Amino acid sequence: MVVGDIGADVAAAQTAGAIGVLVPTARTRPAEVQSCPIVLANLTAAVDWLLAGDFRTARQTVGPVLAERGRRVLCVRADSVGDVLVTGPAIRAVADRAGTVTVLCGPQGRAAAELLPGVDAIVEWETPWLAPEPPRASRTNILSLVERLRAGAFDEAIIFTSYHQSALPMALLARKAGVGRIAAISDDYPGSLLDVRHRAIDDVPEPVRANDLATAAGYPRPDGDDGRLELRQPLMDVGELVGSEPYLVVHPGTSVPARACPPARLAEVVARFGEAGRRVLVTGTAADADLTSYVAGKHGVDLGGRTTLATLAAVLARAECAVVGNTGPAHLAAAVGTPIVSLFAPTVSARRWLPYGVPVRRLGSPEAPCADSRATICPVVGHPCLSNVDPMDIVSAAEELACAF
């Protein structure tokens, strides 16, 4: 390990294959504090960190230099609904100091971006290295984005990613578009693509990961902001759609088949609620119409295809509890403060992806063979992680949450 007080010391360490640690002094430039991956407050902190031996937990313990106010900032989160929603708290932090905030997202995430506080404009572009059914990465497609970003005249870009994604392709396009300053989390060596190369603590909730990057880029969470997910207010009026009686929501659809609870299980849950005198709304997209009709049966109210993302948010906000898998509407429910029974398939980390900041009861087997596989189609016969969940456990969990909150 090499400890120095200027960026050149850290660069020399990296060239030699050593770990470089920056301990700022009076002669350390702010840009060096921003760009070095490991910044510690003093020599004592550096020694303590070295003796601890867990280098994955390296992060800045010195407050970052605050970004200048009034800048034109591009926030990139080129994924789906849930990915954009969990980045919302970080985008709010950026908006607190920025002049304008533009979100670059894919077509699947646009409706979520439109609901986020602090967003002034949206650039929609389907990212060839992230989209589940990616468009061709053609010269025309790539240059069209570069020209759109150039026209935006952005002072800086903050590229938000999940742990398994690389920010460097987007950083290259932002560089080509003339963006002045670029920040991202990157374990891979970024060369000159990043001005702020941040290292995140491993296996933290996605909203925490995003806020961590925003802070490193100079946009700490403002005073009074608790870091939870939020939506623009007021929400839509859905009184005519949902009526005046209390209700629970069951959302059976998922964007990834491996994360879906078997429909028969959820149909039984709705039936049990109905037999107990509980009112249940079953929500889903128009593509889920057959699914929502089946799950609703004769006991539930079928809202399949009758909500946009904005109206679904308002429906969830008025619900006593939501029963939903690991999919975008789970994070939408969290953003409106609704307690959640999470039917969570363990193909991805629950620590990263459970709904954040609201009461949650997780059901499903965390030790199933598919754990951490990131499978989109269940690789295990019988889908045991969720097919073995007892419908009465779901009902009991929902009742407990509804009564407690």
| High-pLDDT (> 70) share of the chain, % | 93
How many CB atoms lie under 10 A from the CB of residue 123? 19
Looking up tokens 């049990």 gives 272
Residue 28 pLDDT: 75
Q: Out of 2-16, 121-135, 301-315, which region has the weakest mean confidence (pLDDT)?
A: 2-16
Q: Which of 200, 166, 184, 169 has its CA nearest to residue 352? A: 200
Residue 61 pLDDT: 40
93 CB-near residues (< 8 Å, 6+ apart): 211, 214, 215, 219, 220, 221, 222, 225
Round to the nearest angstrom and report the end-to-end CA distance of the chain. Answer: 50
How many CB atoms lie under 10 A from the CB of residue 194? 25
- Give the model confidence (pLDDT) of 211-229 as tens digits: 999 998 999 999 999 999 9
Q: Which is more confidently placed, 382 or 261?
A: 261
Q: Which is more confidently placed, 44 or 148?
A: 148
Residue 103 pLDDT: 98
Looking up tokens 């079953």 gives 282
Residue 245 pLDDT: 95
Average pLDDT over every residue of 373-401? 93
Residue 203 pLDDT: 82
Question: Which overall architecture, per CATH, does domain 72-216 show?
Answer: 3-Layer(aba) Sandwich (3.40)
- Mean pLDDT, the chain, as a whole number? 91
Residue 53 pLDDT: 62
Q: How confident is the model at residue 88 (pLDDT cuts 50, 70, 90)?
A: very high
Q: Do the domains spanning 72-216 and 239-404 agree at the CATH topology level?
A: yes
- Give the model confidence (pLDDT) of 46-77 as tens digits: 776 677 665 544 444 444 568 889 999 999 99
Q: Tell me how far CA of residue 387 lies from CA of 23, 84, 292, 322, 332, in angstroms.
A: 53, 29, 18, 19, 24
Q: Which is more confidently placed, 164 or 121?
A: 121
- Give the model confidence (pLDDT) of 18-44 as tens digits: 778 888 776 777 667 766 777 776 777
Residue 19 pLDDT: 78
**Where in the chain are the domains?**
2-57, 72-216, 239-404
pLDDT at 143 over 90: yes
Residue 5 pLDDT: 84
pLDDT at 268 over 50: yes
Q: Out of 171-180, 263-272, 327-336, 378-387, which region has the weakest mean confidence (pLDDT)?
A: 378-387
Residue 64 pLDDT: 53
- Give the model confidence (pLDDT) of 279-296 as tens digits: 999 999 999 999 999 999
- Of all helices (H) and strands (E), which one includes residue 387? helix 384-387
Q: How confident is the model at residue 141 (pLDDT cuts 50, 70, 90)?
A: very high
Q: Record the tokens describing residue 208, joined without a space.
A: 């925490």
Q: Are strands 100-105 and 72-76 parallel, antiparallel or unpaired?
A: parallel
- In the three-class reduction of DSSP (H, G, I as helix; E, B as strand; rest coil), residue 129 is classed as coil
pLDDT at 45 over 80: no
pLDDT at 130 over 70: yes
Residue 18 pLDDT: 74
- Give the model confidence (pLDDT) of 97-124 as tens digits: 999 999 999 999 999 999 999 999 999 9
Q: Which CATH superfamily is domain 239-404 in?
A: Glycogen Phosphorylase B; (3.40.50.2000)
Residue 303 pLDDT: 98
Residue 57 pLDDT: 47
- Of all helices (H) and strands (E), which one includes residue 184? strand 181-185
Query: Considering the entire predicted model, what is its pTM?
Result: 0.85
CA 342/CA 135 separation, integer angstroms: 32
pLDDT at 251 over 70: yes
Q: How confident is the model at residue 129 (pLDDT cuts 50, 70, 90)?
A: very high
